[in-house]
Amino acid sequence: DAGITQSPRYKITETGRQVTLMCHQTWSHSYMFWYRQDLGHGLRLIYYSAAADITDKGEVPDGYVVSRSKTENFPLTLESATRSQTSVYFCASSDTGTRGQFFGPGTRLTVL
């Protein structure tokens, strides 16, 4: 599914640094999402967006910032990375209807 991509795929950073994870989709889906995947927690929603310039918090938004100036891009920024933000981050998109969400390949982030 080349329709949704994430970069970088792997990132190692240090505590306190700012990190931006990129997400790009080519389907023109209205909705985009950011999740983190952790053992014992499954997937938890960080932020989501219903359209360009419309974003809202999910279950675990603290420490993260998002923007959506264009429909196809939905970057996630960790303003000051902490070790607890070490995780695998998945971006997803969907259109209206009941076809579910389509996921990117994930970014494995390690905060030292």
Partner 1 sequence: AQRVTQPEKLLSVFKGAPVELKCNYSYSGSPELFWYVQYSRQRLQLLLRHISRESIKGFTADLNKGETSFHLKKPFAQEEDSAMYYCALSQGAQKLVFGQGTRLTINP
98 is a contact residue toward partner 1 (CB under 8 A): yes
Q: Which residues of 40-73 are buried (b: 16+ CB within 10 A; e: fewer)?
A: eeeeebbbbbeebeebeebebbeebebbbeebbe
69 is a contact residue toward partner 1 (CB under 8 A): no
Size of the site for partner 1 (CB under 8 A): 27
Among positions 34, 48, 74, 89, the unique one binding partner 1 when judged by CB under 8 A: 48
96 is a contact residue toward partner 1 (CB under 8 A): yes
2 is a contact residue toward partner 1 (CB under 8 A): no
Q: Which is nearer to partner 1, 81 or 92 (CB)?
A: 92
Give me the least distance between CB of 73 and partner 1, in Å please: 18
What is the rounded distance in angstroms from the CA atom of residue 91 to the CA atom of residue 74? 8
* Tokens read off for 44: 């938890």
Query: Which residues of the shown chain bind partner 1 in the complex (CB under 8 A)?
Result: 1, 30-31, 33, 35, 40-45, 48, 50, 58, 90, 92, 94, 96, 98-106
